[in-house]
């Protein structure tokens, strides 16, 4: 059932942003369980991987129906991996020159993984340390699960921002120029009128402004909520002690007033002549 559903979805949307329709046949292997997935993937595959693409052999490996929720939506995962194959098919022998950040970022972009932005919105490090360089994003993609999560989100945002520079053509002109020249630098300059260094500087600044501040505000809000939860019982207990203390003071004042009143009456009675009552 899963395999049939995935094939139907892949056939329904078989083109990718900026690329011609792929023509290569693809073998899709669905592992029945996590152990088989790891065995088929090999030792080089990351522990957190949900799917893998092998452009040289035109193969894709996915986790099956026993996968945990961490594996994500299998339809999205398949399209992500198919995007890798489509990109490499288009560039052919020059595909090795595709930076990792662009390769992964494009796959996320083509798969419509807009939820990647959530990882940036929660990344307080952007507010304090700034946005990593694209070279650092490359390194993070092969790091721990936490590092990779942020790096995939940054790669997605970089490719999405490139596409947004030309609302009419998106990435189409970039891809055509890139394949013709063999240079991402020259392709970016031709397609968008900016150097790759200029784009990177602008992209890093915008990511930090948009997501770094949001993450910081979110973090402060969460901290404030936790502080409020912690302080509320203390505040209630103090108010209770204050009420008890005020009640005791009022009782003491009333007792003192009653004592003074009796003493005043006794003093008045003592001044009266005996037998006059």
Count of Cβ atoms closer than 10 Å to residue 51 Cβ:
26
In DSSP notation, 157-188 reads: HHHHHHHHT-TTTTTHHHHHHHHHHS-HHHHH
Would you place residue 224 in the very low, low, confident or very high pLDDT band (cuts 50, 70, 90)?
very low
What global pTM score does this model have?
A: 0.74
For position 155, what pLDDT does the model report?
A: 95
Going 7 to 10 to 13 to 14, the CA torsion angle's sign is: negative
Most confident of 34-43, 44-53, 78-87: 78-87
Span 82-109, pLDDT tens digits: 999 999 999 998 888 999 999 999 999 9
Locate the domains of the chain by residue range: 1-97, 99-232
Distance CA 68, CA 50 (A): 9
Please report, for the chain, how many H helices and E strands are present, in that order: 12, 3
Alpha carbon separation from 188 to 19, 83, 165 (Å, rounded): 16, 20, 10
For position 241, what pLDDT does the model report?
A: 78
* Angle ∠(33,35,40) on CA atoms, nearest 5: 95
Span 18-35, pLDDT tens digits: 999 999 999 999 998 888
Q: How many residues does the chain have?
A: 277
């Amino acid at each position: 059932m899963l395999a049939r559903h995935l094939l139907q979805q892949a056939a329904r949307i078989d083109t990718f942003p900026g690329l011609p329709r792929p023509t290569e046949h693809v073998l899709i292997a669905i592992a029945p369980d996590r152990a088989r997935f790891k065995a088929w993937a090999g030792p080089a595959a990351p522990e957190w991987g949900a799917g893998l693409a092998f452009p040289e052999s035109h193969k894709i490996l996915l986790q099956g129906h026993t996968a945990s929720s961490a594996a994500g939506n299998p339809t999205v995962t398949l399209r992500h991996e198919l995007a890798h194959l489509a990109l490499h098919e288009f560039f052919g022998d020059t595909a090795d020159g595709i930076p990792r950040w662009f390769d992964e970022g494009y796959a996320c972009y083509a798969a419509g993984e807009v939820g990647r932005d959530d990882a940036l919105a929660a990344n307080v490090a952007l507010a304090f340390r700034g946005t990593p360089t694209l070279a650092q994003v490359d390194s993070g993609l092969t790091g721990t699960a936490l590092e990779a999560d942020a790096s995939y989100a940054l790669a997605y945002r970089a490719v999405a921002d490139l596409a947004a520079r030309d609302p009419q053509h998106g990435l189409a002109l970039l891809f055509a120029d890139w394949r013709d020249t063999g240079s991402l630098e020259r392709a970016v300059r031709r397609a968008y009128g900016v150097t790759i260094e200029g784009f990177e500087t602008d992209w890093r600044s915008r990511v930090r402004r948009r997501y770094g501040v949001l993450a910081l505000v979110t973090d402060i809000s969460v901290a404030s909520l936790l502080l409020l939860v912690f302080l509320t019982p203390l505040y209630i207990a103090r108010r209770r002690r204050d009420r008890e203390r005020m009640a005791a003071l009022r009782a003491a004042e009333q007792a003192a007033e009653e004592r003074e009143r009796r003493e005043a009456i006794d003093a008045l009675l003592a001044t009266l002549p005996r037998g006059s009552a």
